[in-house]
């Protein structure tokens, strides 16, 4: 998808976003912004190896409803700096610092997948400064166990960034994780375009740090993952939205949300039919209607 086609695709959803850059918690971070900068802020956080454009179907709908929509490229992703360390803790600190730097008053934080765990950590530290928390098809924290055998002490080898000879070769390699989806092909083309960067010699590479996943898991083999974020510290309303066909429903019972957030003002659970893990890519209209119905009650 070339630049002109991509711009035309984005405009199908509404006015295109503005780019913002902010220095927070020791990293230069990039965000997309839709809507009135003075409106009530909604800060959206993507998942592992994704980027801010994941929320292209969502940001314009929030702006049209009177919100200021902000979508963050986490460090190591998209147009933000590839500045380790990575992980729920540092990402949560980044979000908290962004709230200060951007002077966001009573924001609503939305996190998808890994970004849901990041949002929970940020919400626990922001406390009463947060108006609401939305977790979207998220395990709500780090992996439950190390991904490698315990006892090994050597850090994993650095990965070399992948390179592709052409856009078409790179596009074939672009996959959602988990992979099941009913998202429109042109939406996937849009996401792929912004997941790639041009390299010298006409080649292409990914826009995320090749080592982001292993560094996210604490870097050294056998290290116990950080504890689950403290849901008991969160007192704002918590909304959880799930894909009806998502594999997350085999890992987590959405009915447990109330138990995970015992001090929340209230909790709500919504399941979007015919959607997989990437809920708002698969069923953007249904997702946006559900999200806005709750946001207008906060």
Which segment of 43-57, 75-89, 158-172, 197-211 scores lowest on mean pLDDT?
158-172
Residue 90: φ, ψ to 5°? -70, -35
Question: For residue 148, what pLDDT band results from cuts at 50, 70 and 90?
Answer: very low
pLDDT in tens, 239-263: 999 999 999 998 888 888 889 999 9
Cα dihedral 136, 67, 96, 212 in deg (nearest 10): 50
In a domain, 16, yes or no: yes
Q: Are 249 and 270 in contact (CB under 8 A)?
A: no
Question: At residue 156, does pLDDT exceed 70?
Answer: no
Which segment of 151-160, 223-232, 269-278 scores lowest on mean pLDDT?
151-160
pLDDT in tens, 91-139: 999 999 999 999 999 999 999 999 999 999 999 999 999 999 999 999 8
- For residues 225-240, one letter each, b for 16 or more C-beta atoms within 10 angstroms of the residue's C-beta and e for the rest, the string is beebbebeebbbbbbb
Q: What is the pLDDT of residue 158?
A: 63
Distance CA 287, CA 293 (A): 10
Q: What is the CA radius of gyration of the chain?
A: 18
Q: Are 233 and 262 in contact (CB under 8 A)?
A: no
- Alpha helices per DSSP H over the chain: 3-11, 59-64, 88-101, 114-126, 167-173, 185-195, 212-216, 257-260, 279-282, 284-295
What would the mean pLDDT of 7-22 be, rounded to a whole number?
Answer: 97
Query: How many CB atoms are located within 10 Å of the residue 85 CB?
Result: 14
What mean pLDDT is reported for the chain?
89
What whole-number percentage of the chain has pLDDT above 90? 71
Cis peptide before 151 (omega within 30 of 0): no
In a domain, 22, yes or no: yes
Question: At residue 181, does pLDDT exceed 80?
Answer: yes
Distance CA 62, CA 108 (A): 12
Does residue 201 or residue 278 have the better pLDDT?
278
Task: Specify the pTM.
Answer: 0.91
In a domain, 154, yes or no: no
Residue 42: φ, ψ to 5°? -125, 115
In a domain, 148, yes or no: no
Number of structural domains the chain divides into: 1
In a domain, 156, yes or no: no
Question: At residue 146, does pLDDT exceed 60?
Answer: no
In a domain, 205, yes or no: yes
- Report in angstroms the alpha-carbon separations of 294 from 78, 89, 114, 233, 269: 29, 27, 22, 21, 11
CATH of the domain at 108: 3.40.50.1820
In a domain, 265, yes or no: yes
What would the mean pLDDT of 271-276 be, rounded to a whole number?
Answer: 98
In a domain, 68, yes or no: yes
Q: What is the pLDDT of residue 217?
A: 56
Question: At residue 72, does pLDDT exceed 80?
Answer: yes
Range of the domain at 32: 3-142+163-295
């Amino acid at each position: 998808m070339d630049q002109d086609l991509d711009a035309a695709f984005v405009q199908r959803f509404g006015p295109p976003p503005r780019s913002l850059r902010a220095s927070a918690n020791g990293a230069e971070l990039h965000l997309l912004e839709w809507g009135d900068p003075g409106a009530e802020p909604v800060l959206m956080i993507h998942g592992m190896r994704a980027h801010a454009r994941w929320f292209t179907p969502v940001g314009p709908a929030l702006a049209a409803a009177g919100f200021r929509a902000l979508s963050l490229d986490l460090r190591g992703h998209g147009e933000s700096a590839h500045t380790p360390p990575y992980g729920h803790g540092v990402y949560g600190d980044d979000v908290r610092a962004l709230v200060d730097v951007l002077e966001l008053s009573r924001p609503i934080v939305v996190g998808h997948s890994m970004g849901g765990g990041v949002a929970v950590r940020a919400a626990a530290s922001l406390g009463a400064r947060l108006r609401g928390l939305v977790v979207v098809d998220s395990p709500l924290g780090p992996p439950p166990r190390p991904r490698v055998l315990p006892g090994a002490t050597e850090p994993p080898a650095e990965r070399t960034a992948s390179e592709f000879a052409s856009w078409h070769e790179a596009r074939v390699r672009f996959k959602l994780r988990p992979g099941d989806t009913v998202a429109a092909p042109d939406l996937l083309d849009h996401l792929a375009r912004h997941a790639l960067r041009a390299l010298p010699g006409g080649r292409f590479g990914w826009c995320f740090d090749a080592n982001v996943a292993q560094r996210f898991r604490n870097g050294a083999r056998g290290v116990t993952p950080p504890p689950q974020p403290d849901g008991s510290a969160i007192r704002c309303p918590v909304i959880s939205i799930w894909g009806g066909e998502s594999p997350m429903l085999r890992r987590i019972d959405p009915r447990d949300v109330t138990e995970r957030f015992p001090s929340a003002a209230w909790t709500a659970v919504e399941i979007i039919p015919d959607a997989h893990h990437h809920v708002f890519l698969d069923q953007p209209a249904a997702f946006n209607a559900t999200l806005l119905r709750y946001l207008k009650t906060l």
